[in-house]
């Protein structure tokens, strides 16, 4: 008797629930795919406005730009997922480019022995990438050992690394990074021009970094720890997550990604300029945020970041092609970023509401 | 189960006809959220100058009803009558203007501001364009004295224990002129002495014709302080009765349809050898004091060892030390005769000591992760495949087994942890610990803020685990719980062990007496700037 009456009363709210849940799902889908929708709109819009927008040459140029934003943003995503921020990446791009430039054009000089060592191109890549990771590790250690806020610690790195980039060659560019056959260090310029299946190698690197980052974020305990730290550091700590270690690693990853970008730019330009990468950190952060990662940490995805980088890159280049002045470009990109976050907040509020409803139901 | 049929709400029932002393009447309230009916034609009377108790399990609709009265939510249907006149409360500010104030279960305090600043938050007393700090501090001091608390009004709220923070929240409500005061679980973090002080204040408020709506899971308390009792279940009004006419079994029956004897029970059982030996665990506090003062004890296999004491007695800190969360702690511990050297959380977890922390939201859960990810968080290394990647199949198996074994009610493990009820969230935290295959499980106030049904499930689980050979350390501030569940009880006061009793010797009187040792000069509760007495 009793059970029967209970089931009877349960059917009526249950059926209304299903209908509403259905509508909610549609809206959720739209919101969840909002960056992707934005990307499609950007592509459609500019291909109408500019007939050459989708030409193979232009696609190649644009994807080279996108690759740079994407690689930086991938590293930045790890940092932001832990609730941190890395302002140092733009300067690390410049510094690692200069390190590579110095190693090719000047080599490692040891005056005591009167020797100059010219490392092989692969060694140069390795040294530059290690340098990037080390610079990131320094930021991470300052943050975790001394309790410095990530914003401040990496702001320090932004200045220090940029300064060092200038010091290396007294503010001058290292031009013509072709190496010398006599020293056996040629090939850096070739690297910048490598193409595979018609695509510049930087695009392949972007893909590689994206896939690896995706696996790290979703399929390694480390990735889960990153999300947990950003969601609730206390709980993570009490669950046995090595919070400090994990944080240092994310800044190392970010530094490594920045070094990769430094090498890509230097190899493509066949030159290393100390101002390379100035302001890139903010574009990278914008791509991450645009991709739906929450600046307070714990929420976001690598896929979102990649799409965010595409939106930023394609939007910027599109605006250039259509002939919008650089000032209006800045206005447009600024508006897009803030708009994305406003929508984000709405989505978050909706998810919370759905969660609360579920709680009421259970 | 046969007596589960309850009389349905009947508008002609004499109890539901407005009475002259009813100050606020929520009449025929229905609240529909998309997908769920939270309140279904509920009528609730608030009697003037009385303590109106509202009970029901989590999800029964108590909080929704209170939110409607406090102006946080609007009813889908129904109306509110204040002194017989229909009113509309559109916002919490509206409610405040009508003299309705609410103390939420989740504290609404700003941790980095002082007690005074919190009490006057949003209503600062301004004189010559600046805040009149002297006046505010005096009022705050008076309020805290009225609540019999020795809390310094200049202390930052974040530096207070949760119990003290709750007192501040109550003081904040009292600082405003209230006609109707809603208290949602005000005592869940208070010690016995603090509860007594609160009850004296409630009686004083009643004498001033303030009407109180009181929500609590502690049923003994309701009988002690309440005048009128309303029971909700599944969003429906089940019963309305004078408190003097009811007893606990009656309330529980109305709430869940189960009888009391099946809720708390601990069968007698044998326990084995010493599994955990703790020697002189010490946590230094400021100024030569000890938060945990040279604590030594043994725990046997299959034993549930309860820790009782007042707020701030050092019980939670002791568990934190054992869990490796306090690197500055000293002392030695042996597990199965082997000394554990590791003094980090991950080291202790690997050794087999797992803590289920007191504050679920702050220390237990990651709100941005799903139920499944929360369950797996502490034991991810067990689910790797040969390539050192997480294997979804292994993860799923672990999650499913935990959801089944602990009967966690969840539609889909991928939904956010915040969508679960308090009791189920707590089970998730326990599940997270259990997946590390611990030998010692430490539960710090495992039943805080969860309903009676979920409590009994947590207790059943503890009994089951003890029978499987776990050693269980269990901190609770609820006497009935600790007496019902523990094989042995250690009483702590001011960081030190002051008494140890077996379950046969234990009585409420003895535990309470012991918990006050060293507190005579201090009147209990507050331990800021305490002195060492032994």
Mean pLDDT of B368-373: 90
Domain co-membership, B36 together with B163: no
Exposure letters B30-46 (e unless 16+ CB within 10 A, then b) = ebbbebbbbbbbbbbbb
What is the domain-level CATH number for residue A276?
1.10.3470
- Amino acid B186: pLDDT: 79
Domain co-membership, B339 together with B310: yes
Mean pLDDT of B243-248: 86
Contacts for A150 with CB less than 8 Å, ≥ 6 apart: A79, A84, A85, A86, A139, A143
Residue A105 has pLDDT above 90, yes or no: no
Tell me the percentage of chain A whose pLDDT exceeds 70. Answer: 88
Q: Which of A2, A220, A298 sits opposite B389 (nearest CB)?
A: A220
Does residue A131 form part of some domain? Answer: yes
Does residue B282 form part of some domain? Answer: yes
Rounded CA gap, B159 and B321, in Å?
A: 19
Q: Which of A240, A299, A356 sits opposite B346 (nearest CB)?
A: A240
Rounded CA gap, A147 and A145, in Å?
A: 6
Domain co-membership, B212 together with B191: yes
Residue A19 has pLDDT above 50, yes or no: no
Among candidate residues B148, B176, B204, the one where a domain is terminated? B176
Mean pLDDT of B285-313: 85
Among candidate residues B154, B176, B198, the one where a domain is terminated? B176
Does residue A181 form part of some domain? Answer: yes
Report the mean per-residue pLDDT for chain B. 81
Query: Does B421 touch chain A if contact means CB atoms closer than 8 Å?
Result: yes
Q: What is the pLDDT of residues B98-148, one digit of tens each?
A: 888 888 766 678 888 888 888 887 777 777 777 778 888 888 888 888 877
Q: Which site among A80, A229, A240 would you substitute to test the B interface, given the most B Cβ atoms closer than 10 Å to its Cβ?
A: A240
- Tell me the ipTM for this assembly: 0.75
Nearest-Cα distance to chain B for A217, in Å, is 11
Reading the block at residue A130, the tokens are 């290690």
B421 and A359: CB-CB below 8 Å?
yes
Residues of B in contact with A80 (CB under 8 A): none
Q: Which of A219, A220, A362 sits opposite B409 (nearest CB)?
A: A362
Residue B519 has pLDDT above 60, yes or no: no
Rounded CA gap, B220 and B215, in Å?
A: 12
Label residue A249 left, alpha or beta by phi (over 0 means left) and psi (-120 to 50 means alpha). Answer: alpha
* pLDDT-derived band at B447, boundaries 50, 70, 90: confident
* pLDDT-derived band at A144, boundaries 50, 70, 90: very high
- Amino acid A12: pLDDT: 37
Nearest-Cα distance to chain B for A1, in Å, is 8
DSSP symbols for B485-514: H-SEEEEEETTEEEEEEETTT--HHHHHHH
Nearest-Cα distance to chain B for A24, in Å, is 9
Nearest-Cα distance to chain B for A355, in Å, is 4
Mean pLDDT of B336-340: 89
- Amino acid B191: pLDDT: 74
Q: Which of A215, A220, A359 sits opposite B420 (nearest CB)?
A: A359
Domain co-membership, B62 together with B210: yes
Chains A and B form CB pairs within 8 A to the count of 133
Domain co-membership, B161 together with B187: no
**Residue of chain A nearest B420, judged by CA positions:** A359
- Amino acid A142: pLDDT: 96
B346 and A234: CB-CB below 8 Å?
no
Q: Which of A2, A299, A360 sits opposite B368 (nearest CB)?
A: A299
Residue linked to tokens 């530094």: A255
Does residue B377 form part of some domain? Answer: no
Angle at B247 between CA B245 and CA B251, to 5 degrees: 105
Q: Where are the alpha helices (DSSP H) in B212-355?
A: 219-225, 248-256, 315-323, 345-351
- Amino acid A76: pLDDT: 96
Does residue B414 form part of some domain? Answer: no
Domain co-membership, B95 together with B187: yes
Query: Does B37 touch chain A if contact means CB atoms closer than 8 Å?
Result: yes
Does residue A6 form part of some domain? Answer: no
Residue B35 has pLDDT above 60, yes or no: no
Q: Which of A20, A224, A234 sits opposite B373 (nearest CB)?
A: A224
Does residue A139 form part of some domain? Answer: yes
Contact between residue A201 and residue A191 where contact means Cβ atoms under 8 Å apart: yes
- Amino acid B267: pLDDT: 61
Nearest-Cα distance to chain A for B20, in Å, is 34
Residue A351 has pLDDT above 80, yes or no: no
Rounded CA gap, B400 and B410, in Å?
A: 11
Q: Which domain holds residue A307?
A: 54-323
In total, how many domains does chain A have?
1
Tell me the percentage of chain B whose pLDDT exceeds 90. Answer: 14
Closest CA to A93 of A260, A307, A310: A260
Mean pLDDT of B310-332: 88
Domain co-membership, B454 together with B320: yes
Does residue B5 form part of some domain? Answer: no
What is the domain-level CATH number for residue B496?
3.40.50.300
- Amino acid A57: pLDDT: 83
Query: Does B270 touch chain A if contact means CB atoms closer than 8 Å?
Result: no
- Count of other CB atoms within 10 angstroms of residue B272: 11
**Residue of chain B nearest A222, judged by CA positions:** B380
- Amino acid B525: pLDDT: 40
B373 and A240: CB-CB below 8 Å?
no
Report the mean per-residue pLDDT for chain A. 84
**Residue of chain A nearest B8, judged by CA positions:** A5
Q: What is the pLDDT of residues B383-399, one digit of tens each?
A: 888 888 888 899 999 99
Query: Does B388 touch chain A if contact means CB atoms closer than 8 Å?
Result: yes
Among candidate residues B161, B176, B191, the one where a domain is terminated? B176
Residues of B in contact with A357 (CB under 8 A): 33-36, 419
Residue B161 has pLDDT above 70, yes or no: yes
* pLDDT-derived band at B247, boundaries 50, 70, 90: confident
More confident residue, B473 or B509: B473
Q: What is the pLDDT of residues A20-57, one digit of tens each?
A: 555 556 766 766 677 788 888 888 988 888 888 888 88
Does residue A180 form part of some domain? Answer: yes
Does residue B395 form part of some domain? Answer: no
- Amino acid A3: pLDDT: 37
Q: Which domain holds residue B218?
A: 21-99+178-259
Nearest-Cα distance to chain B for A310, in Å, is 26
Please identify among residues 66-125 of chain B the ones whose CB lies closer than 8 Å to any CB of chain A.
none
- Amino acid B51: pLDDT: 92
Q: What is the pLDDT of residues A304-314, one digit of tens each?
A: 999 999 999 99
B432 and A239: CB-CB below 8 Å?
yes
Domain co-membership, B307 together with B290: yes
**Residue of chain A nearest B320, judged by CA positions:** A238
**Residue of chain B nearest A226, judged by CA positions:** B377
**Residue of chain B nearest A212, judged by CA positions:** B389
Mean pLDDT of A273-281: 91
Q: Is the pTM of this model over 0.80?
A: no
Does residue A25 form part of some domain? Answer: no
Domain co-membership, B227 together with B329: no
More confident residue, B54 or A355: B54
Domain co-membership, B443 together with B314: yes
Residue A195 has pLDDT above 80, yes or no: no
Q: Which of A138-147, A149-158, B278-287, B417-426 has the lowest mean pLDDT?
A: B417-426
Using alpha carbons only, how large is chain B's radius of gyration in Å?
24
**Residue of chain B nearest A354, judged by CA positions:** B419
- Amino acid A23: pLDDT: 55
Q: How many residues does chain B have?
A: 534
Mean pLDDT of B244-252: 83
In total, how many domains does chain B have?
3
Distances (CA, A) of B439 to A338, B97, B344, B354, B488: 51, 55, 17, 8, 18
Domain co-membership, B149 together with B190: no
Q: Which site among B232, B377, B441, B443 would you substitute to test the A interface, given the most A Cβ atoms closer than 10 Å to its Cβ?
A: B377
Which residues in A have their CB inside 8 Å of a CB on B?
Answer: 1-2, 5, 13, 16-17, 20-21, 24, 215, 218-221, 224-225, 227-228, 230-232, 234-242, 294, 297-299, 351-352, 354-362
Residue B532 has pLDDT above 60, yes or no: no
Query: Does B399 touch chain A if contact means CB atoms closer than 8 Å?
Result: no
Dihedrals φ, ψ of B146, to 5°? -60, -35
* pLDDT-derived band at B197, boundaries 50, 70, 90: confident
- Count of other CB atoms within 10 angstroms of residue B364: 26
Does residue A315 form part of some domain? Answer: yes
Domain co-membership, B323 together with B357: yes
Q: Which of A5, A224, A351 sits opposite B380 (nearest CB)?
A: A224
């Amino acid at each position: 008797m009793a059970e029967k009456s209970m089931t009877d009363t349960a059917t009526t709210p249950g059926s209304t629930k299903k209908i509403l849940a259905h509508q909610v799902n549609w809206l959720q889908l739209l919101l969840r795919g909002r960056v992707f929708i934005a990307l499609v709109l950007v592509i459609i819009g500019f291909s109408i406005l500019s007939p050459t927008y989708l030409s193979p040459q232009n696609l190649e140029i644009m994807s080279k730009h996108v690759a740079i934003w994407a690689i930086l943003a991938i590293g930045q995503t790890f940092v932001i997922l832990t609730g941190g921020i890395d302002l140092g990446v733009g300067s690390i791009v410049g510094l690692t480019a200069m390190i590579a430039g110095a190693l090719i054009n000047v080599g490692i000089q040891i005056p005591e022995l009167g020797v100059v060592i010219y490392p092989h191109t692969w060694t140069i890549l390795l040294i530059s990438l290690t340098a990037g990771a080390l610079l990131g590790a320094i930021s991470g250690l300052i943050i975790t050992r001394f309790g410095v806020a990530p914003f401040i610690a990496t702001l320090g790195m932004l200045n220090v690394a940029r300064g060092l980039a200038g010091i290396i060659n007294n503010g001058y560019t290292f031009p013509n990074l072709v190496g010398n056959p006599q020293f056996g260090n040629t090939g850096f310029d070739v690297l910048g021009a490598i193409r595979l299946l018609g695509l510049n190698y930087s695009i392949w690197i972007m893909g590689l970094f994206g896939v690896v980052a995706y696996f790290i974020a979703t399929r390694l305990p480390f990735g889960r720890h990153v999300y947990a730290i950003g969601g609730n550091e206390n709980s993570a700590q009490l669950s046995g997550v090595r919070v400090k270690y994990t944080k240092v690693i994310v800044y190392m990853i970010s530094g490594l990604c920045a070094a990769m970008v430094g090498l890509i730019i230097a190899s493509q330009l066949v030159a290393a300029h100390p101002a390379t990468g100035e302001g890139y950190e903010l574009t990278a952060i914008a791509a991450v945020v645009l991709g739906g990662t929450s600046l307070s940490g714990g929420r976001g995805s690598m896929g979102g970041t990649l799409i965010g980088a595409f939106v930023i890159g394609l939007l910027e280049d599109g605006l250039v092609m259509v002939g919008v002045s650089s000032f209006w470009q800045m206005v447009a990109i600024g508006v897009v970023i803030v708009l994305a976050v406003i929508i984000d907040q709405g989505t978050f509020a909706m998810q919370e509401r759905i969660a609360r409803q579920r709680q009421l139901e259970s | 189960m046969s007596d589960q049929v309850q009389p349905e709400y009947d508008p002609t029932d004499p109890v539901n006809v407005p009475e002259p002393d009813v100050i606020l009447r929520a009449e025929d309230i229905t609240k529909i959220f998309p997908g769920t009916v939270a309140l279904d034609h509920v009528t609730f009377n608030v009697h003037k100058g009385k303590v109106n108790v509202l009970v029901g399990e989590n999800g029964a609709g108590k909080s929704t009803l209170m939110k409607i009265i406090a102006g946080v939510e609007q009813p889908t249907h129904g109306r509110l009558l204040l002194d017989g006149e229909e009113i509309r409360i559109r916002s919490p500010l509206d409610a405040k203007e009508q003299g309705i104030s609410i103390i939420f279960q989740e504290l609404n305090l700003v941790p980095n501001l002082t007690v005074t600043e919190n009490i006057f938050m949003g209503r600062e007393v301004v004189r010559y364009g600046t805040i009149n700090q002297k006046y505010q501090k005096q009022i705050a001091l008076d309020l805290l004295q009225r609540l019999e608390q020795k809390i310094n009004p200049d202390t930052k709220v974040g530096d207070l224990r949760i119990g003290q923070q709750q007192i501040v929240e109550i003081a904040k409500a009292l600082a405003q002129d209230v006609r109707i005061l809603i208290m949602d679980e005000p005592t869940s973090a208070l010690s016995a002495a603090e509860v007594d002080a609160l009850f004296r204040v409630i009686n004083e408020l009643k004498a001033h014709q303030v009407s109180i709506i009181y929500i609590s899971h502690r049923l003994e308390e309701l009988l002690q302080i309440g005048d009128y009792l309303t029971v909700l279940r599944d969003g429906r009004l089940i019963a309305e009765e004078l408190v003097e006419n009811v007893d606990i079994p009656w309330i529980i029956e109305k709430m869940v349809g189960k009888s009391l004897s099946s809720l708390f029970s601990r069968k007698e059982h044998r326990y084995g050898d010493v599994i955990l030996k703790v020697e002189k665990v010490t946590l230094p506090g400021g100024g030569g004091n000890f938060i945990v003062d040279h604590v030594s004890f043994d725990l046997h296999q299959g034993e549930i060892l309860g820790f009782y004491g007042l707020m701030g007695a050092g019980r939670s800190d002791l568990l934190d030390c054992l869990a490796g969360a306090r690197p500055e702690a000293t002392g030695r511990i042996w597990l199965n005769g082997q000394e554990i050297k590791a003094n980090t959380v991950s080291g202790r977890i690997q050794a087999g000591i797992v803590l289920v922390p007191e504050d679920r939201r702050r220390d237990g859960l990651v709100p941005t992760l799903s139920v499944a990810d929360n369950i797996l968080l502490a034991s991810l290394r067990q689910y790797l495949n040969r390539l050192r990647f997480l294997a979804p199949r292994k993860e799923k198996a672990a999650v499913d087994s935990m959801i089944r074994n602990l009967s966690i009610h969840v539609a889909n493990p991928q939904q956010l942890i915040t969508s679960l009820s308090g009791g189920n969230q707590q089970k998730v935290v326990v599940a997270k610990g259990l997946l590390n295959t611990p030998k010692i499980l430490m539960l710090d106030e495992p039943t805080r803020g969860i309903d009676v049904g979920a409590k009994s499930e947590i207790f059943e689980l503890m009994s089951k685990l003890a029978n499987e050979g776990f050693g269980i350390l269990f901190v609770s501030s609820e006497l009935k719980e600790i007496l019902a569940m523990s094989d042995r009880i250690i009483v702590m006061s001011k960081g030190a062990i002051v008494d140890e009793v077996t379950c046969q010797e234990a009585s409420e009187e003895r535990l309470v007496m012991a918990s006050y040792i060293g507190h005579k000069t201090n009147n209990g509760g507050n331990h800021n700037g305490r002195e060492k007495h032994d």
